[in-house]
Amino acid sequence: MAILVRAKSFLSSSLSSLTRSQRCNHTLGERGLQAELYSGMAPAPNPALRPIDTSKWKKIQASKVGISLSMISYPSWIVLKILHKGGFEAYLVGGCVRDLLLNRTPKDFDVITTANLKQIRKKFHRAEIIGKRFPICRVHIKGSIIEVSSFETVARHDADKEKALSSLLPKICDEKDLIRWRNSRNRDFTINSLFFDPFTCNIYDYNGGMSDLKSLKLRTLIPAHLSFQEDCARILRGLRIAARLCLSFSKDTERAMYDLSASIGGLDKFRLMLEVNYMLSYGAAVQSICLLQRFNLLNILLPFQAAYISQHRATKNSMMLMKLFFNLDKLVSCDHPADSSIWVGLLMFHLALVNNPQDALVIWTFASVLCHGNWKEGVEFAREYTKLEVKFVPEISEFSETKSDEDLAKEVAQFASLVQDSVGVLTETSNLFESMSRYPFSPCSGLVFVPKITAKNTAKLFDLMVEDIRSFINGRGRMSPEINFHLLGIGDPCETRFVLGKIILETMKAGPRGDATEIGNDEKDLQPKATEEILSNNEIPAKKVKKHAPSLFIPDGNRGMLKKQKLVDDDTAIKNQEMVTKDELNDLAEKHQEFVKTCKLSENKTNSMQGKISEKEEKSKKDKEKKPKKHTKAVEKSKEHIALHTVSKKQQRVVRELNLREEDEMDNLEKVLGKEEVMERTEEHKGRAGEERSGVSSLSSLFR
């Protein structure tokens, strides 16, 4: 919930300085007209269509919402400049603009231009046109692939629709605005319909995308049922975006997702694999699985895993599957994704365990050998940690510490073989139905979508363990314990084995009551109902700081494209924070302790201490020999005032508890400061806090 509140407070505070004068003086139809507008495109015209009132088009200065040119990837910037120098308009569009606004690292940067596809291809040495229905040009530059689309493609494809829309526009309308608006109407969701012109540094919003981004809401551009009927893959895309950004759904969108969820079974297997990989390999696997379960899509895509979750939800047992993906989420992100072999390998490992429960020592050894890269070190580590009692049902059958190395090697090799065999459940319908006999009352669509080549390559990861595990060497050598994300992203076998072992070890170390139980907390931030149903028995431990803040605008563009972005707590974020994590409590305690130490000065050093607190007080050295008197009420008022400016109302209780613990030390403040000095510093502090807050204001002026 804290993440959601930070996101809302950030959007509210960062855009308030934008006034109505910054909006385009053009037109856009009201949301209530969307159904009328699109129904009017049917063969029978809708007589209720009216001219579009356009005062809601917005043009926003990028620097006002914290976007700078330095945040654009270098290859994308090269593509944009080449097109611009060629005399064409070029924009960033879609999800990358949304992610930049939310202080997220975009998965990719999509470019759209007024040049046609042939003109785009001529501008670059390595470029090819792909796609039939909506062709695009793929530009290879600086080791990256940038997808460039043309305004002309969409306009030609939906000529009849565009003609119907254009007839509702005012006669006087800027041509560039008209081109952008027409294209935006073909996007899936409002928050993906934003354009960013890096040469004028303006963001164009024609569909209320900024408003929905402010409220963290996912809404389709056209009536949701119609949108998902046009392309049911938008359902999966919407769930993926909501999972990664912690978004809620509009009522229309949520209802349509429920009603049309079964339609995704008709999608091409390649498309399904693409969407599921985006969900599981980019740091939001747990949230994605929960949303898939909530909208009855997991039964279609991964029926065995859906049945497993349903059974554990009913029995309130801790779920090893969810904890495996929780630990995967801690390692990967949009700027450091994993290859699909990671999540396919985790599913294979878990399938083998559910169908063939193992001794805990065997699991420890299996994972440790993968992680350490050789048998000897792996066994030593496993025997040390096997003393920890880990209870996963039905995955762990027993606990033993007395197995000989020879017996242990045989059992681990046998288990590795079972892991390889379990890949058939993901690739063969017959194997899937056979495995589902374990859950006879659970639905099974019989759909399998994992490509056989992907399954085969993943199964090969365990070949060395099956053949001769005692001579197993990963090949990674004694590399850094840090993950090489480049190798992980391209599916390097050695790096993939290392990360698989690391994830399983972390899951075993945590057990049913360790870090992985934080799943419940994360999911509650996203979808409270889904979380409580799926992981109701999990506890909430100290939370690791996330790599990305889901929605923090930093004004004036004072932020770079960091590889590992961390949540930055400023005054505004702290003020609106609703939950106090252990890390924040520790930080608060440290700040409080520093304040106490500053105040704990002797009477003879009063003037020097005063000089450190305020430059003004350096001029008051004439009062050096004066003894300050006790002013208990003023001191208590000062302590409370400073605490209230440091934390939110939700945290006042914690601050007061810290004050009580340090009561003896804080009493020294009375011996150091007099009443006048305390009040003066309090007012000075209030002034500084007010100045800081004035730099970041709310969205009210923009969304009136």
- Written as one string, the DSSP assignment of 116-177 is -HHHHHHTSSSEEEE-SSS-EEEEEETTEEEEEEEHHHHHHHTHHHHHHHHTTS-SS--HHH
Q: How much is the pLDDT for 160?
A: 55
Mean pLDDT, residues 146-156: 84
658: its two tokens: 């810290």
Say how far apart CA 193 and CA 58 lie, in whole Å.
Answer: 12
* Cis, peptide link before residue 394, omega less than 30° from 0: yes
Task: State what percent of residues in the chain have pLDDT above 90.
Answer: 49
Fold for domain 220-300? Hydrophobic Seed Protein (1.10.110)
Please check the confidence at residue 297 and state whether its pLDDT lies above 90. yes
Greatest CA span in the chain, whole angstroms? 93
Please check the confidence at residue 256 and state whether its pLDDT lies above 90. yes
Q: How much is the pLDDT for 306?
A: 96
222 with 165: CB under 8 angstroms?
A: no
The full length of the chain comes to: 704
Q: How much is the pLDDT for 170?
A: 59
For residue 459, give the nearest of 352, 371, 374 by alpha carbon. 352
In which residue ranges of the chain is CATH 1.10.110.30 found? 220-300
- Look-up of token digits 């169908």: 355
Q: How much is the pLDDT for 400?
A: 82
Who's near 124: CB < 8 A, 6+ residues apart?
79, 82, 139, 140, 141
pTM for the model: 0.69
pLDDT in tens, 28-70: 333 333 433 343 333 334 433 455 657 788 999 999 999 999 9
DSSP 218: E
71 versus 168: the higher-pLDDT residue is 71
Measured between alpha carbons, how far apart are the two ends of the chain, in Å? 26
pLDDT band (50, 70, 90) for residue 198 = very high
Who's near 200: CB < 8 A, 6+ residues apart?
none
pLDDT band (50, 70, 90) for residue 657 = low
- Look-up of token digits 């470029």: 127
Say how far apart CA 197 and CA 203 lie, in whole Å.
Answer: 6
188 with 238: CB under 8 angstroms?
A: yes
pLDDT in tens, 584-610: 445 545 554 554 454 444 444 444 444
Range with the lowest mean pLDDT among 43-52, 58-67, 489-498, 562-571?
562-571
- The amino acid sitting at 405 is D
Tell me the pairing of strands 111-113 and 144-150: parallel
Average confidence score pLDDT of the chain: 74
Q: How much is the pLDDT for 515?
A: 41
- The amino acid sitting at 201 is C
Question: Yes or no: is domain 56-214 CATH 3.80.10.10?
Answer: no
DSSP 189: B
- The amino acid sitting at 190 is T
Please check the confidence at residue 117 and state whether its pLDDT lies above 70. yes
425: its two tokens: 């459940």
DSSP 543: P
Who's near 672: CB < 8 A, 6+ residues apart?
599, 601, 603, 606, 609, 628
